[in-house]
């Protein structure tokens, strides 16, 4: 049941993403694009529901992965809207724009028209690029941006602020100044319309970001749903609650610990976003009356990241903040857990008889806390607080996956750049799918990663690299991911008597 609900949730989310982004560049119906993208999860979920005890044939795993992106890209291309036809259509609807020297075009991203650049402004634009900083060779006018192409003559961390300051003196805040690299690694500048410009004639209405009433309501609802699930984990039956409602309080250890882990995770994101003056919402929880009692929490960032340093700091703050809460919660909960016989079938979500050996980190922590009680062929019946800490480990690992919009995707983007991050993300997807063939519980992970957008949004300065300290911290985060997912090696298990 949980698999079906998660599948419906992710499929709806993918349809919305396609509708908002891809539908703007192609005439192919959104439902057809969605169906092409959904081929792998539809086949996998169908097999899992009809043959839960049988392993999936390799051809059903890899063939959809090959066919789906090919069909998806082909459907986009056959219906792709050319910039010239789009411009012609807009000019036929507004003939008065033909009188200007460079008629503005609608931005495909935010529908904000690019202000016309006359010859005098273009000269001023060229003067913003000193030869010793960035040798400007060409200016391209696109419907959604003005591209300034040339050669970088100094360090990126010096070039971007210099050019940005020069452009702001000429154009004020009419444009967002983006510094990116081509696929060949050549840095270029792009000027895109600033939707919140104080000088533009057309401005987007200011969105109210902080909605404490909604955030507090969702928090209270999540506290209620997780407390109910926590009571069920503690062994309280529905009939028992009818006779003694106070038994629901037994769900508080699970509820409060899980909310603390999720809350600190998102609050860490939020505080670093505020530090970098990035517009963002408050953390919002997602309550559900089944499964874990919540689908987690999130913040929604509403403005571009200033640089890769900000991308890294905001991304890594969440997993590390949540992990620092997860470890003491898990240790405390394991102290109240007890050892039981190993079940015949091992399941990652069997909280009444969990085999800790599937995770190197969990096994080591369990042995340190439970000592001689935990030996070979024994499992752990988790205390509700330990369940929350265990879920915290899973959440940390999932978020650290180096794919697309996940925190790990942002981290590798900041460390290696967009191009390499894209390759790392694709490799990670394939590895998780192969892992799901060996261990069926990772099928959900594979489905989530398939739905996850591959690319990450670029920072305004997406060229300047990180310092050594942040690179080291990023490698630590990736090692932490491996320690959580890596099964306990047999030699270490013998040494620990597990």
- pLDDT tens, position by position, 286-301: 998 888 889 889 898 8
- What average pLDDT does the segment 267-277 reach? 95
The pLDDT assigned to 432 comes to: 86
Cβ atoms of 471 and 31 closer than 8 Å: no
Q: Please state, rounded to an integer, the average pLDDT across all residues of the chain.
A: 83
Q: Does the model's pTM come out above 0.75?
A: yes
Closest CA to 234 of 257, 254, 260, 258: 254
Lowest-confidence segment of 17-21, 48-52, 91-95, 182-186 by average pLDDT = 91-95
Tell me the per-residue pLDDT of 296-325, one tens digit each, with 9 for 90 and over: 898 988 888 999 999 999 999 999 999 999
pLDDT band with cut points at 50, 70 and 90 for residue 145: confident
**C-alpha to C-alpha distance for 1 and 268, rounded to whole angstroms:** 33
The pLDDT assigned to 118 comes to: 80
The pLDDT assigned to 3 comes to: 60
**C-alpha to C-alpha distance for 443 and 427, rounded to whole angstroms:** 16
The first and second tokens of residue 100, run together, are: 């200007």
**C-alpha to C-alpha distance for 316 and 327, rounded to whole angstroms:** 17
Tell me the per-residue pLDDT of 381-400, one tens digit each, with 9 for 90 and over: 999 999 999 999 999 999 99
Lowest-confidence segment of 133-137, 278-282, 301-305, 449-453 by average pLDDT = 449-453
Please give the DSSP secondary-structure letter assigned to residue 109.
T
Lowest-confidence segment of 71-75, 260-264, 337-341 by average pLDDT = 71-75
Asked if the model's pLDDT at residue 1 lies above 80, the reply is no
The pLDDT assigned to 186 comes to: 87
Lowest-confidence segment of 30-34, 64-68, 80-84 by average pLDDT = 80-84
**C-alpha to C-alpha distance for 412 and 390, rounded to whole angstroms:** 25
**C-alpha to C-alpha distance for 362 and 438, rounded to whole angstroms:** 20
Please give the DSSP secondary-structure letter assigned to residue 145.
-
- Neighbour-count burial of 310, counting CB atoms closer than 10 A to its CB (0-12 exposed, 13-18 middle, 19+ buried): buried
- Integer CA distances (angstroms), 242 to 238, 247, 291, 293, in order: 7, 9, 21, 20
Question: C-alpha angle 96/97/98, rounded to 5°?
Answer: 90
């Amino acid at each position: 049941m949980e698999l079906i609900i998660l599948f419906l949730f992710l499929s709806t989310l993918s349809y919305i993403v396609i509708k908002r982004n891809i539908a703007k560049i192609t005439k192919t119906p959104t439902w057809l694009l969605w169906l092409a993208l959904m081929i792998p999860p539809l086949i996998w979920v169908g097999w899992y529901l009809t043959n839960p005890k049988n392993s999936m044939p390799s051809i059903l795993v890899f063939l959809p992965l090959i066919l789906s992106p090919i069909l998806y890209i082909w459907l986009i291309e056959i219906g792709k809207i050319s910039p010239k036809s789009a411009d012609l259509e807009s000019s036929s609807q507004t003939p008065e724009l033909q009188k200007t020297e460079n008629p503005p075009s609608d931005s495909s991203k935010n529908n904000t028209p690019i202000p016309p650049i006359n010859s005098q402004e273009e000269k001023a634009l060229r003067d913003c690029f000193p030869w010793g900083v960035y040798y400007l060779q060409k200016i391209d006018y696109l419907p959604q941006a003005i591209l300034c192409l040339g050669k970088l003559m100094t360090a990126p961390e010096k070039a971007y602020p210099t050019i940005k300051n020069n452009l702001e003196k000429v154009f004020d805040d009419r444009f967002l100044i983006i510094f990116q690299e081509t696929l060949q690694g050549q840095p270029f500048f792009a000027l895109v319309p600033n939707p919140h410009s104080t000088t533009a004639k057309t401005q987007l209405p200011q969105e109210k970001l902080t909605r404490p009433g909604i955030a507090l309501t969702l928090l209270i609802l999540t506290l209620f749903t997780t407390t109910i699930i926590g009571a069920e984990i503690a062994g309280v039956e529905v009939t028992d609650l009818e006779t003694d409602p106070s038994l629901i309080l037994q769900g508080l250890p699970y509820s409060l610990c899980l909310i603390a882990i999720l809350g600190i995770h998102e609050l860490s994101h939020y505080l670093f976003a505020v530090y970098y003056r990035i517009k963002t919402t408050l953390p919002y929880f997602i309550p559900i009356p089944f499964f874990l009692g919540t689908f987690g929490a999130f913040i929604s960032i509403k403005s571009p990241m200033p640089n890769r340093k900000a991308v890294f700091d905001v991304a890594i703050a969440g997993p590390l903040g949540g992990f620092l809460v997860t470890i003491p919660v898990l240790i405390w909960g394991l102290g109240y857990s007890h050892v039981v016989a190993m079940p015949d079938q091992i399941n990652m979500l069997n909280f009444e008889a969990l085999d800790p050996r599937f995770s190197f980190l969990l096994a080591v922590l369990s042995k340190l806390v439970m000592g001689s009680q935990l030996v070979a062929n024994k499992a752990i019946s988790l205390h509700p607080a330990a369940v929350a800490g265990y879920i915290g480990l899973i959440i940390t690992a999932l978020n650290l996956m180096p794919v697309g919009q996940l925190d790990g995707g942002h981290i590798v983007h900041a460390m290696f750049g967009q191009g390499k991050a894209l390759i790392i993300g694709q490799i990670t997807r394939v590895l998780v799918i192969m892992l799901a063939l060996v261990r069926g519980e990772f099928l959900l992970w594979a489905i989530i990663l398939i739905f996850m957008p591959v690319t990450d949004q670029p920072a305004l300065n997406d060229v300047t690299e990180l310092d050594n300290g942040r690179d080291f911290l990023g490698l630590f985060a990736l090692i932490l991911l491996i320690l959580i997912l890596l099964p306990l090696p047999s030699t270490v298990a013998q040494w620990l008597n597990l």
